[in-house]
Structure 1
Amino acid sequence: MKKNVKKAINLMLIAGMITGTAVGCSSKHNSSESSKNNASFNSKGLPIVKKPIKLKVLTTRWGSMGDSFTKNKWLQDLETKTNVKIKWEVKSLNDWGEKKSIMLAGGDLPDIAIGNQTFGDTDILQNQSMFIAVDDLVNKYMPNYAKALEEMPELKKAVTFPDGKMYSLGKNLPSRPKSEAQPVINKKWLDKLGMKTPTNLDELYNVLLAFKTKDPNGNGKADEIPITGAKDIQLNLLNPFGITDLNSSNMMVKDDGSLVYYPTSNEYKEGIKWLHKLYAAGIIDKEIFTQDDTMYNGKCQDPKGARVGFTYQWTPDAVFGKWSDQYEAIAPIKGPDGKQYAPGDPNGVYSIQRNEAEITSSCKHPEVAARWLDQFYTGEASIQNFWGAIGTVINKGNDGTYTLNDPPKGTSADAWYWDQSLRDFGPKYVSKDFQSKIKLSSKSGDGLKVELSKLSDPYITKPFPNVMYTSEESEDLTTLTTDIGKYVQITRAQWVTKGNIDQQWDAYVKKLKDMGLDKLTKIRTDAYNRYQKVK
């Protein structure tokens, strides 16, 4: 059965490759020849073409967001300035997986695809003939993006595929916090109980035990939940032990640069013992291993009153609704070694991403597409495609600074930004110099998170980066991470709820090795080493 499935997949890939080379211009399309045949093309300055050209641009959006972002004044002005007219095709991510498979199988691709949720690493690697390697285009026609790659080596590393070429363009978002989820505590409960903000594990335990036993919400019921959260909180609670996992790889980069699969580390073992202590005392929510976001949010926003004492969140107001003013973010809890650790990225959390734009082999004028995309890589273009247009969402001051206007009444800032811009998706680059010109409110939205992040910024660990894998590595990883990851999750839940980790540890490690752990770590290590070598 396994051989037949693999054979079918190979036949589909071959068919896709054949179709990809047959449609439009092939991956061997020569941009120099195209520009020679297009007498209207200007290699520098604006307009990009003397006579209007239409490009078909595909992007995806969450849920039913629609295409309101296309009314962004910067995007509309870009058409006038460049003479490149855009036919937007906007797809919902709700059913994009199925539609994407059909599109790739048929080879009927747009000229440009935008957004890292539209086509991912595997889509590009398995249909490589359908996507143009942009290296030459960047050197010839994309000075803004070329400068970004030079100024930010991490961006160049992120967008370089295993064969050393670039098949997609990347981004660097503006005003990103350095830390991810932070510890959030009910300050009102602390004050009522006369307790100080906890700084280490012992203090945290005593505070949480008091939350459980002393009725801090004052309703006469033992309905307080000292700790709850979505499933990721299990790992957040291990932060004091030096375990952070920004990109969900189960890999930890040690201070000496070595890599460790942390579910087999001593730090992990000691952290699980700590979680069992909390669970045995009734401090951890009994449903923490099974609840989804809806259940979690319901507890945080119980209309009868605040019930949650401690969790990890982006910002306190992210989940607590009308009880938000009771909560505050605090500094990372000190671990057994007296140190503090926080998950994050010195360049900004999830700021650097690849696959934000691709030029497909269906594009008849890749040089025009490249020059059009390069217009997105200025500071002003980037902030207008992240928040919204200047004059609408953004106010440009006489001193050259940029501030965000308040959203319409009844609309959240984040919803407004998504309505007015490409937001997280699409090409962007903000240099350090331009970043200093952006002035955000420290009381809400992105500015609030940047401010709160300062509590954790000094303690950020080096993350295992978002590395690139070959098709073969990806295929092996899919099986290995599914089987091994499931086993790790099951044993973690058992040890947190029932204990006995010391007695079962050696057998657990042996089982992981029997399941292919050495192969998994080698794949991760090989990809990491390739990433490090990119210059």
Structure 2
Amino acid sequence: MKKPVIALSGIMLGMTALLAACGDDGNTTGASGNSNGDIKMTPVGTYPIVNEKATLKVFTKQDVNVENYETNEFTKWYEDKTNVKVEWEVVPGSAMKEKLQVKLAGGDLPDVFMSSGISDSQLVGYGSQGLFLPLNELIHQYAPNVKRMIEKAPYLSYYLYAPDGKIYSIPNVGETFHATMPKKLWIYKPWLDKLGLQVPTTLEEYYNVLKAFKTQDPNGNGKADEIPLSGANGTTNGNNEIESFFMQSFLFYDRSNYLMLDNGKVEFSADKPAYREGLRYLRKLVQEGLLQPDAFIQDRKALTALAEDPAGSRLGSATALYWGNLSIDNGPSGRYKVYVPVPILAGPDGKRYGFDRGYGVDNGAFVITKDAKNPQLAMRWIDWFFNEDAKLAEGMSDYLGKEGVGWKKPEPGTKGLDGGPATYQMLVPFGTKNNFRWSQTAPRFQDLSFRNGIAATKEAETEVRLQQITKDYYKPYSAAERYVPHMYFSDEDLAQFGDIQKSITTVVQDFMLKFVTGTLDIDKDWDKYIKELENAGVKSYTQIIQANYAKLKK
């Protein structure tokens, strides 16, 4: 059967299109069972997957809330359920990018990569080279839950299909809107209260608060040791980078690509006059000692040390997805409770341009490699994770843990996040280190109804609080219509795009840091910056995106 190329189109591909896209990449022996070499599987949808013990080599990122994957209670439960034993290779998040690249280049491949930060260019590049297997037929024959997800979430058509029409990865999908608006700012309320200040709503009000934090000794120790504003570098996945929040007061700003839509046209954002004004504001904060220069280069651990100083918090405010990315969530100091949200601050024109992705998709979440001994087994193994309702009915969840331990069925009348009936109630809060669940290790499909089904109780405080905060402080300023949707590129475009994007990112980040810290002058050296962007290929970059976006809209 010829495999059609599914181009960069916005067609909402449901089950019919999935079947049409399938090739002959898998084997089946009919309803009685599946055979792959010397392994015989049970019928799809039944467990165990195999009657004789099988193994699966899994390469994954360490979830900081999981103590030990080998001895984890869910690991043991799922091994008993499937009769598949996992051979783990677990890598700390800080080392993942380097370790992944070494793994891909060295040829010593696991059966699967799971939650390993595989990029789009790696998916397409290594997929076309044969290192990653096409999953179309494997999904069709062995993954009914994944197929159901594709039908329920038509926006996945932007993410699933490479330009050659093949699926090289199963994504992790979440429809919780607080995670799709991750650029937030938090301020230490005890200092506001001591100084008789309110949560600011404009850039000018915020500037005045920072001045008060710096000059009026809000921690009361008689020393000028307060840090009014800080953050962390953009490599820790906590959305701690400073400029992403503050640029929302000036223009739509997507740090991943520096692109935005303006009346249907793709525009580069990091050369606009509004971007320049954002840099001026940040420069002013650094110049007056209100913004810690280390905020652009330090890691999250250093940021947390400021908030959790044993002598008392030294951190007045910080950028982060949530309070646990700057303090210790559920920590003994309790300071995580009193970092309160600051809305997107009204900018010079009174407007706000909230970064909003609309839905959360981690595209490279599950990849089967060419060295997988049993690709069908790997697909059967992962499919279970994509049915949250079945997990609750079964009394066990990778995300929540065992019923009665990590969660329970709520009492009648208990409300969920949206005010409707709750379907599950947390017993152990998110962010708690444990050895009975995988937390956010495995990819899954959590649609909005599932996320809203969590009981709005104390144990779900993080989810309840963050959902409400996003709804009240950030969602009203959503500029989702300016978000450039995900797209893949042809081999020809990809050959140019990857190098150009890397060069442009380097230029933007390098000059941003130098402008804000004063190494370069925003006025005198601006033309130099624009010239460097031109040399990096910014014109070709936007042209490639525009051409492919036009295809999406056809």
Same fold (TM over 0.5): yes
- Alignment-derived partner of residue 170 in structure 1: 171
User: What is the CA-CA distance between 1:71 and the residue it aligns to?
Assistant: 5.5
CA contact (8 A) 1:382 1:428 kept: no
- 1:351-394 deviation digits (Å, cap 9, x = unpaired): 31122223334445544443333222111467822232333312
> Which residues of 2 match residues 173-192 of structure 1 at below 5 A?
173=174, 175=176, 177=178, 178-192=180-194
State the match for 1:91 in structure 2: 90
- 1:282 matched to 2:302: no
- Alpha-carbon shift at residue 448 of structure 1 (Å): 3.3
Indicate if the aligned counterparts of 2:345 and 2:352 stay in contact, CA closer than 8 A: yes
Residue 297 in 1 paired to residue 297 in 2? no
Counterpart secondary structure, 1:420: coil
Number of residue pairs matched by the alignment: 495
- Specify whether residues 113 and 495 from structure 1 end up closer, same or farther in structure 2 by C-alpha distance, changes over 3 A only: closer
Contact 2:115–2:442 (CA<8 Å) still a contact in 1?
Answer: yes
Give SS of 1:155's match: helix
User: Residue in 2 aligned with 1:269?
Assistant: 276
C-alpha spacing 1:372/1:216, structure 2 compared with 1 (3 Å) = closer
Preserved contact between residue 231 and residue 296 of structure 2 (Cα < 8 Å): no
In structure 2, relative to structure 1, the CA distance for the partners of 1:471 and 1:302 (3 Å cut) is: farther
Contact 1:300 / 1:320 at 8 angstroms: preserved in 2?
Answer: yes
SS of 1:263's equivalent in the other structure is coil
Q: For residue 515 of structure 1, what is the aligned residue in structure 2?
A: 536
- The reply on whether 1:386 has 2:395 as its aligned counterpart is no
- Distance between the aligned counterparts of 1:457 and 1:64, measured in 2? 29
What is the match of residue 492 of structure 1?
A: 512
Residue in 2 that maps onto 1:357: 366
CA distance, structure 2, for counterparts of residue 156 and residue 137 of structure 1: 17
TM-superposition CA deviations, 1:92-150 (whole Å, max 9, x none): 24766676567656756444442243787416623542332121232333222112112
Check 1:204–1:113 CA distance in 2 against 1; reply closer, same or farther (3 A cut).
closer
Q: CA deviation at 1:44?
A: 4.2
Indicate the structure with greater helix content.
Answer: 1
* Equivalent runs, 1:209-288 vs 2, <5 Å: 209-231=211-233, 232-245=241-254, 248-254=256-262, 256-288=263-295
- What are structure 1's unaligned runs of at least 5 residues? 1-26, 408-412
Match of 2:157, SS state, is helix
Partner amino acid, structure 2, of 1:170: P
Deviates more, 1:393-402 or 1:63-72: 63-72
Structure 1 segment 191-210 matched on structure 2, within 5 A? 191-210=193-212
Q: 1:124 to 1:77 in 2, by over 3 A?
A: farther
User: How much identity, in percent, do the aligned residues show?
Assistant: 27
Q: Which amino acid aligns with 2:438?
A: L
> Residue 140 of structure 2 aligns with which residue?
139
Q: Note the residue ranges of structure 2 that are not aligned, 5 or more in a row.
A: 1-22, 234-240, 413-421
Q: CA RMSD in A?
A: 3.6
Of 420, 424, 437 in structure 1, the residue corresponding to residue 440 of structure 2 is: 424
Deviates more, 1:202-211 or 1:41-50: 41-50
Is 2:408 the counterpart of 1:395? Answer: yes
Q: Letter of the aligned partner of 1:456 in structure 2?
A: Y
What is residue 114 of structure 2 aligned with on the other side? Answer: 114
- Counterparts in 2 of 1:517 and 1:197: CA distance versus 1, 3 Å: same
Distance 2:260 2:281 in 1: 20
Where 2:228 maps in the other structure, the secondary structure is strand
Task: Give 1:267 shift.
Answer: 1.6
Distance 2:387 2:474 in 1: 30
Q: Which sits farther off after the overlay, 48-57 or 445-454?
A: 48-57
What's the TM-score once normalised by structure 1's chain length?
A: 0.79
Once the two structures are superposed, residues 166-197 of structure 1 have per-residue CA deviations (whole angstroms, 9 ceiling, x without a partner) of 01111213756242131212222222222222
- Residue 20 (structure 1) aligns with: none
Separation of aligned partners in 1, 2:110 and 2:521: 56
- Compute the displacement of 1:86 (Å): 2.8
- Partners of 1:64 and 1:449 lie apart in 2 by 20
* 1:170–1:352 Cα contact (<8 Å) kept: yes
Equivalent residue for 1:21? none
Pick aligned residue for 2:323 from 309, 312, 316: 316
- Which of 57-66 and 187-196 deviates more? 57-66
Task: Report how far residue 268 of structure 1 moved.
Answer: 0.3
Change (3 A) 1:483 1:61: closer
- State how far apart, in whole Å, the 2-side matches of 1:89 and 1:316 are: 31
Map 1:19-38 → 2, pairs under 5 A: 29-32=25-28
